[in-house]
Amino acid sequence: MIQQGARPAADGVAPVRSGCQRVAAPDAIRDPWTELFAQPMNREKARHSNLESALEAALAARELTLAWQPVVDRTARKTVCAEALLRWTHPELGVVPPARFVPVAEQAGLIERIGDWVIERACAQAAQWRLHMAPYLCVAVNVSPLQLNRRFVRTVSRALEISGLPPSALELEITESQPVLDTRSAVSTIAAIAKFGVRFVIDDFGAGYSSLSYLRRLPLHGLKIDRSFVMGLPHDSRSAVIVEGLAQIAHSISLTVTAEGVETEEQAVFLRECGIDRMQGFLYSRAVEPDDFVEDCRTRSGLRE
């Protein structure tokens, strides 16, 4: 007797049941693990795309601004340099951290347009401050390694010419987030701009891909010790030895040394004893608007050690 819902067996092969007991086609099988990881990846891709579009619109809408953080001389404790820090306030997203949007700008090919604006604005502002407030002031600008090409040479030259800022008053800080400084293009670009009299500084030295070989091969004028070595001072003995050693090496080859991330007077005292030339951090000021920077600079100019 044949069971209901089954076909007769043929050649001794067991019957295959029909109805709900079908075997799914291979292309219909879904891997739950693939779906689990694909969803966050798709969301991140969508966020990246949306941020890229918003960043392009921000350039046209002039939503990008510069904040200014003082760099203080260790002896006189005067503000000797203003670091220009890029800021973006989106009308809906609010404040977008640079760590979030700068990598997007690099990947989207927007970093050159943004970098041009930063260089031009920073040079113009510094020239005005030198004329009306602090004739000794220099300006520091962060530069992506991806900007280091022949086009950037023309950008810097044009910004200096239009603003009237002396080349020696401009410091370009390079953060080595990827091993780009080893390329021939980057090295030749740095050399060409350095011939103008512009100063180059390795930022966040001691972190990422930063290498002592850069101190030998590149026409540098200074280095900034990464905040990760400063935060434990003076009690972290290893950090203390590293900071002292870096200061000695830098000074032996005539480089200026700046410590960033200084937050306590105890740290500042130790750094001064190490011979660090300049300091920067919340102990002195956060990054502020231009008017607040001017007020802080004028107030600090009367301080003496």
Q: Tell me the pTM.
A: 0.82
- Of the segments 34-48, 211-225, 229-243, 288-302, which one has the largest average pLDDT value? 229-243
pLDDT band (50, 70, 90) for residue 81: very high
| pLDDT for res 20 | 45
* CA distance linking residue 104 with residue 228, whole number of Å: 25
Please, how many CA atoms are within 13 Å of residue 23, restricted to the half-sphere of its CB? 3
Residue 303 has pLDDT above 90, yes or no: no
CB 171 within 8 A of CB 137: no
- Of the segments 113-127, 171-185, 201-215, which one has the largest average pLDDT value? 113-127
pLDDT digits (tens, 9 = 90+) for 2-14: 444 444 444 444 4
Residues 6+ apart with CB under 8 A from 7: 15, 16, 18
| pLDDT for res 34 | 53
| pLDDT for res 178 | 59
* CA distance linking residue 247 with residue 52, whole number of Å: 40
Beta strand pairing status for 278-280 and 79-90? unpaired
* CA distance linking residue 8 with residue 14, whole number of Å: 8
Cα–Cα distances (Å) from 10 to 7, 14, 20, 220, in that order, read 9, 8, 22, 85
3-state secondary structure of 255: coil
Q: What does the domain layout of the chain look like in residue ranges?
A: 63-298
pLDDT digits (tens, 9 = 90+) for 234-267: 999 999 999 999 999 999 999 999 999 999 999 9
Distant-in-sequence contacts of 48-57, Cβ < 8 A, 24+ apart: 48/104, 48/107, 51/96, 51/100, 51/101, 51/104, 52/104, 52/107, 52/108, 52/110, 54/90, 54/93, 55/88, 55/101, 55/104, 55/105, 55/108, 55/110, 56/108, 56/110
Q: Please give the torsion angle defined by the CA atoms of residues 217, 223, 225 and 226, in that order, rounded to the nearest 10 degrees.
A: -80
pLDDT digits (tens, 9 = 90+) for 30-61: 555 455 455 565 666 667 678 888 999 998 88
User: In this structure, what are the phi and psi dihedrals at residue 179, rounded to the nearest 5 degrees?
Assistant: -75, 65
Q: Which fold has domain 63-298?
A: TIM Barrel (3.20.20)
